[in-house]
Amino acid sequence: MRDFTLLATTLLSVSGKVNILNGSGKPSDVVISVAGLNTNPDEEGNYTISGLSPGTYDLTAALTDYTTVAPPSGIHKITLTRTSLTNCNFSLTTYAISGNVKLYGAGNVQNVVISCSDGTRTRTVNPDENGNYIFPQLPAGTYTLTASLTGFSTILPGGDGSYKIQLGPSAANKNFTLVAYYISGSVSFYQTTGDIKSVSIRCTGPGIDTTVNPDENGFYRIEPLPAGDYEITASLGGYTVVSPNGGKHILKLRSNVSDKNFVLTSFYISGKVSLVNSPNTPDNVTITLTGPVGTINTSPDEKGNYKFSILPAGNYTLSANLTNHSVVSPSSGTYNITIPQNATDKNFVLAAYSISGTVRVNDVSGPAGTIIYCQGPSGTSQFTVGPDGKFQFYPLPAGNYRLWAEKLGFKTVYPAEEIYDFKLGSLATKNFVLQKM
């Protein structure tokens, strides 16, 4: 016969008090944990956890942004046997990082962003109007502290501009000095005029790509700018920067920089148009300019004078055109022009030609009604001859032409080939003789 003996297990408890040494935390928000059981102290910090079996346990206290400083290890190692434990007390504290921010340059210290990171969480604050800042409630740990403001560089602390802090105790006097620089100068025109306030000054650098315009006196200033490498350019449609050489300033900004000046100029192309043997006037001619500005057209005045102005440097092609006319000067028909310098006396001579003659018919009917056909660069046209037998095609451009005569019931006996094929480059006379078929 077996003997069964039941042994009762005594359930025990652990108790103590939680002290909040500083900060805004409340004892009743602390979480006391042991053996998978949790509780919160009362408002006075007293706590009790019951229902624990005998054994060895880790007893902890936790509160967000606080560190347990008593016991020093942050944990009570407890062993429960036959009696409950009392006076398992905890002390929790929180730490702060504080300092001051100074600005040198045009800026508002209250816009500075102070960042505090422990590698997993980043907190930010802004200084007050006097530059003072504080992170008031931080647990112990390792933190990286930085300050930033657009257009400013951190010169204190040195190096990469950050503090590496092992927090516990609190860290004070973590001060920052930020500085911003400016670049200034003036813009002027050389041998030309223009709207100085329309010039665009572009500044590119570390995290910076900004554009400003000069005032009515040509003065410009770009700020705030952090230290770094910069490129400054100026531009205005139709104008070329002639100073500085290369059209831009390249600089290392480590202090305020002035006298980064720009000189802009524009160029022009001008000339005169003359017409030879033309029924038109010069103002009917179209002058075409092709280059960096695209393609633009103008017409001369009644005296033939023309001008393209406010042109940037570059390579240009210049041509002239008038229906049924040919450019006889320049011989190539166009000018190829390279600016930077004004181009004058780019003159054009355009000529109009004619083909004329007489038709003789060996018959009493005479030449009236004969049709003269003229085929050339502008297409095919015709002229019906009257009783006097005369005809004329005018104005005509230079080029290759074919000329023939037709009259019902008649054939051409002169020229023998019946057709004139020729190249027109001056006034031409071509006669026809027809006889009855």
> What digits encode the pLDDT tens for the residues 85-111?
999 999 999 999 999 999 998 899 999
pTM here is 0.64
pLDDT band at 9 (very low <50, low <70, confident <90, very high): low
Determine what percent of the chain is predicted with pLDDT higher than 90. Answer: 96
Q: Of 15, 25, 11, which is closest to residue 68 (Cα–Cα)?
A: 25
- Whether the predicted pLDDT of 385 surpasses 90: yes
**Largest distance between two CA atoms of the chain:** 167
Determine phi and psi for 28, rounding to 5 degrees: -70, -10
Phi-psi region at 151: left, alpha or beta (left = phi > 0; alpha = psi -120 to 50): left
- Whether the predicted pLDDT of 80 surpasses 60: yes
pLDDT band at 3 (very low <50, low <70, confident <90, very high): low
- Whether the predicted pLDDT of 381 surpasses 50: yes
Mean of the pLDDT values across residues 404-409?
Answer: 96
Mean of the pLDDT values across residues 231-246?
Answer: 95
- Whether the predicted pLDDT of 303 surpasses 80: yes
pLDDT band at 2 (very low <50, low <70, confident <90, very high): low
Reported as a single tens digit per residue, the pLDDT across 195-223 is 999 999 999 999 999 999 999 999 999 99
- Cα dihedral 79, 81, 84, 87 in deg (nearest 10): -30
Per DSSP, the three-state class of 247 is helix
Query: Do residues 378 and 397 touch, judged by C-beta distance below 8 A?
Result: yes
- Whether the predicted pLDDT of 7 surpasses 50: no
pLDDT of residue 10: 79
Going from the N-terminus, what domains does the chain have, and what CATH number goes with each?
12-93 (2.60.40.1120), 95-179 (2.60.40.10), 181-265 (2.60.40.10), 267-351 (2.60.40.10), 353-436 (2.60.40.10)
Question: Can you tell me the distance from the alpha carbon of 48 to that of 392, in angstroms, rounded to the nearest whole number?
Answer: 126
Mean of the pLDDT values across residues 32-54?
Answer: 97
Long-range contacts of 104-109 (CB under 8 A, 24+ apart): 104/177, 104/178, 104/179, 104/180, 105/151, 105/152, 105/178, 105/179, 105/180, 105/181, 105/182, 105/223, 105/224, 106/180, 106/182, 106/223, 106/224, 107/149, 107/151, 107/152, 107/178, 107/180, 107/224
- Whether the predicted pLDDT of 5 surpasses 70: no
